[in-house]
A = this chain, B = another copy of it.
Amino acid sequence: MIGRLNHVAIAVPDLEAASEQYRGTLGAEVGLPQDEPDHGVTVVFIALPNTKIELLHPLGEDSPIRGFLDKNPAGGIHHICYEVEDILAARDRLAAGGARVLGGGEPKIGAHGKPVLFLHPKDFNGCLIELEQV
Interface class of chain A by DSSP: loop
19 contacts between A and B (CB under 8 A): A1-B28, A2-B28, A2-B48, A3-B48, A5-B48, A5-B50, A8-B8, A8-B80, A11-B125, A12-B125, A18-B125, A26-B82, A50-B51, A51-B51, A72-B126, A75-B127, A76-B127, A77-B77, A77-B80
Chain B: which residue is nearest A124 at the CB level? B21
Chain A 53-82 per-residue mask, 1 if CB under 8 angstroms from chain B, else 0: 101000000000000000010111100101
Write out the residue numbers on chain B whose beta carbons fall within 8 Å of the beta carbon of A121. Answer: 74
Write out the residue numbers on chain B whose beta carbons fall within 8 Å of the beta carbon of A18. Answer: 125
Interface size class of A (residues with CB under 8 A): 35 or more
Beyond A10-B126, A75-B125, A76-B126, 10 extra complex contacts between A and B, CB < 8 Å: A3-B48, A3-B49, A21-B125, A25-B97, A25-B99, A26-B82, A50-B50, A50-B51, A74-B125, A77-B127
Complex CA–CA separation, A96 to B82 (angstroms): 35
